[in-house]
Structure 1
Amino acid sequence: MPERKQVLLRLDPAVHDAIARWAAAELRSTNAQIEFMLRRALSEAGRMPSNAAGMRGRGRPARVEPEEATDER
């Protein structure tokens, strides 16, 4: 997956608070909620790029157990 873009976004504090509350209710981070809202708006406007990667699932990524080290001597 290509590296994700970082964007500085300036928001009215009341708008940020409303998004943060909505995100908490949906069990998302504020950042994920903003991306969710932007993707939905793009889809509804028929402007979602066909090559856009899907959103990452909710919550922490699954834990990957390290492979057991073999101690061959």
Structure 2
Amino acid sequence: MSSTKKRFLLRIEPELYQALEKWAADEFRSVNAQMEYLLKAAARKAGRYPAKTKQPDEREQ
């Protein structure tokens, strides 16, 4: 991955954001990092994102 990340606007329900915010705090991540972690895991599970060696910030869940 390059050092730059794609930015985009995401609109979600406030209740979902609150759930993600709590989940992220429970795992010592920012909401952005938690969403990226979850999206990568879902994409890998679906076979749409290459499985590769874990980065130091990607903990086993």
- Asked if Structure 1 and Structure 2 have the same fold, meaning a TM-score greater than 0.5 normalized by the shorter chain, the answer is yes
Q: How does 1:9-20 map to 2 (within 5 A)?
A: 9-20=10-21
- State the SS of the aligned residue for 1:7: coil
Q: How many residues align?
A: 56
Greater helix proportion: 2
Q: Which residue of 1 is the match for residue 24 of structure 2?
A: 23
Q: Which residue of 1 is the match for residue 49 of structure 2?
A: 48
Query: Any gaps of 5 or more consecutive residues in structure 2?
Result: none
Greater Cα radius of gyration, structure 1 or 2: 1
TM-score, length basis structure 2 = 0.78
* Cα-Cα RMSD: 2.2
Change (3 A) 1:13 1:42: same
Q: Runs (4+) of structure 1 moved beyond 3 Å?
A: none
Percent identical pairs in the alignment equals 39
TM-score, length basis structure 1 = 0.66
